[in-house]
Amino acid sequence: MSMTDTDTLYRLFLSCPGGVVTDSRRPVKGAMFVALKGPSFDGNRFAPQALEGGCSIAVVDNADVIPNGENDHYFLVDDCLEALRMLAREHRRHMGTPLLAVTGTNGKTTTKELLRAVLSRRYRVLATEGNLNNDIGVPLTLLRLRPEHELGIIEMGASHPGDIRRLTEVAEPDFGIITNVGEAHLQGFGSIEGVARTKGELYDYLRSRPHSQVFLNADDARLCKMTAGLETITYGTEEDATVCGKALEDSSDICFSFRWHASSCPEKVYEVHTHLVGSYNLPNALAACAAGIRFGIPAKDICTGIESYMPIQGRSRLVDTGHNRVVADAYNANPTSMEAALRNFSRMDAPHKVAILGDMKELGEVSENEHSRILRMAASLGFDRLIVVGSEFMHASDAENLPVESCPDAAATARLLQKATPENCLILLKGSHSMNLESLLPML
């Protein structure tokens, strides 16, 4: 899009009190409808429906859908997705709101929510809703910025090289957090080095942004090497970090607790009791502490913010079903997060444990080896029952000849659980979102 087109589109956006929508089935009165395309749909076809539903303007990239004499309600562009990106960047620049970008292999959504919980104690914060962290979700989040917002937290996801670069070019963040670099989406990245390069695109952008700062997990040697030339605010378990913290390993609670202090005042130590399951969430919580310190949140308010956060569906939450306690962590899974979840689960104090593991998706050529490795590890931990769900884990269980119950999908697992329902157990649900393991909760 030319600058002239962007300026015109932005003026139209400002005239639309309903903001921007991309789903013609959910039109908003006075909104701008942007006709996006996908592998199996073309939003241009539904522009008239969006206008009939109350939208004021339809942005389309197919002139054939514009009725004769209806130019006042249509705006033609070369590419609707690119137009959405440019519109979002223009709005971000006009608002000038300080933005913090969060990416990483694991923990980015939890970290984003903890940041929101802490920073909202003092500021009016706009944050990514759910996991709208891609080429469409990031622009839509930016377009929700309003003058009253004092800070923005933008989650950025990636499954291919260049994804983070494109998102930073739209969002132009001032601050950044890479939670970690692990084995996920290897089918798209090719290797963990490819994952690191793509996540590092956030650092690459921040190097070009004056006065930018990075919140750095100082315990992560890979990330420390990647931050050369950047101003860092550190967090971790070592005393020289800006924020230092340690999990309370002797706690009898299923949800983890930790102590932390700021290097500026090491004699004041704070204890926090979270609603998160798993001490692998410690870096996520410490990142929120570090951001709180940077943005002037009093330490007691930082603690209150973290303690008030209730995990969203599928992410490190504890569910009491009345028959069992379930660690529901089935929104995402890769070898790094699966190993951390299993090790944490094995340390939990409970007389009877059941692990239900679903396939880890998008691992490419390492998938077979990684499913076998995780299965061997899970079998070695001595759970009362080990149930695996999906073709990858089923193939691994056949090859490894281990004492494992295997099912092709969640529906078959539900039937298995109907025949032999666990009682008074601690149960781990861990798998990729597409495995639909959370649908098993009513059976547990």
Q: What is the pLDDT of residue 5?
A: 85
Per-residue confidence band for 190, with pLDDT thresholds at 50, 70 and 90: low
Residues above pLDDT 70, as percent of the chain = 96
Q: Residue 223: is its pLDDT beyond 80?
A: yes
Per-residue confidence band for 375, with pLDDT thresholds at 50, 70 and 90: very high
Q: CA of 6: how far to CAs of 10, 76, 82, 313, in Å?
A: 6, 12, 10, 38
Q: What is the pLDDT of residue 251?
A: 58
In whole angstroms, give the CA distance from residue 139 to residue 128: 10
Is 334 exposed, middle or buried, given 0-12, 13-18 or 19+ CB atoms closer than 10 A? Answer: buried
Q: Do 422 and 325 contact (CB within 8 A), yes or no? A: no
Per-residue confidence band for 39, with pLDDT thresholds at 50, 70 and 90: confident
Q: What is the pLDDT of residue 231?
A: 97
Evaluated on CA atoms 237, 239, 240, 242, the torsion sign reads positive
Element (H, E) at 388: strand 385-389
Residues 96-308, CATH architecture: 3-Layer(aba) Sandwich (3.40)
Q: Residue 3: is its pLDDT beyond 70?
A: no
Q: CA of 37: how far to CAs of 44, 92, 289, in Å?
A: 8, 24, 40
141-166: pLDDT as tens digits: 999 999 999 999 999 998 888 999 99
Per-residue confidence band for 312, with pLDDT thresholds at 50, 70 and 90: confident
Rounded to an integer, the average pLDDT of 111-122 is: 97
From the CB of residue 193, how many other CB atoms can be counted at a distance below 10 Å? Answer: 11
Q: Residue 72: is its pLDDT beyond 90?
A: no
Rounded to an integer, the average pLDDT of 191-214 is: 92
Class of domain 317-443: alpha beta
In whole angstroms, give the CA distance from residue 375 to residue 394: 10
Q: For residue 342, how many C-alpha atoms fall within 13 Å in the half-sphere facing its CB?
A: 24
Q: Residue 187: is its pLDDT beyond 80?
A: no
| Phi, then psi, of 426 in degrees rounded to 5 | -100, 125
Q: What is the pLDDT of residue 230?
A: 97
Rounded to an integer, the average pLDDT of 414-443 is: 94
Q: Which residue in the block uniquely carries the two structure tokens 């919980």?
A: 117
Over the chain, what is the mean pLDDT?
93
Q: What is the pLDDT of residue 159?
A: 83
Q: Which residues touch 311 (CB under 8 Å, ≥6 apart)?
A: 110, 113, 275, 276, 277, 317
Q: What's the pTM value of the predicted model, to 2 decimals? A: 0.88
Per-residue confidence band for 2, with pLDDT thresholds at 50, 70 and 90: low
In whole angstroms, give the CA distance from residue 105 to residue 186: 11
320-338: pLDDT as tens digits: 999 999 999 888 889 988 9
Can you give the residue ranges of every domain in the chain? Answer: 3-80, 96-308, 317-443
Q: What is the pLDDT of residue 192?
A: 78
Q: Residue 99: is its pLDDT beyond 80?
A: yes
Q: Which residues, listed in sequence order, are joined to residue 354 by a DSSP beta bridge?
A: 385, 427
Token pair in block for residue 217: 């997990």
Q: Do 198 and 164 contact (CB within 8 A), yes or no? A: yes
Q: Residue 399: is its pLDDT beyond 90?
A: no
Nearest CA-CA partner of 276 in 130, 123, 113 = 113
Complete edge-to-edge strand list for the sheet that includes strand 270-277: 125-127, 151-155, 99-103, 175-178, 213-217, 232-236, 243-247, 255-262, 270-277
* Angle, alpha carbons 166-171-174 (nearest 5°): 115
DSSP secondary structure code for residue 218 in this structure: T
In whole angstroms, give the CA distance from residue 312 to residue 46: 33
Element (H, E) at 424: none
C-alpha 48 chain-centroid distance: 34
DSSP secondary structure code for residue 263 in this structure: T
Evaluated on CA atoms 307, 310, 316, 322, the torsion sign reads positive
Strands 57-60 and 41-42: unpaired
202-220 in b/e form (b: 16+ CB < 10 A) is bbebbeeeeebbbbbbbbb
3-80: CATH homologous superfamily? MurE/MurF, N-terminal domain (3.40.1390.10)
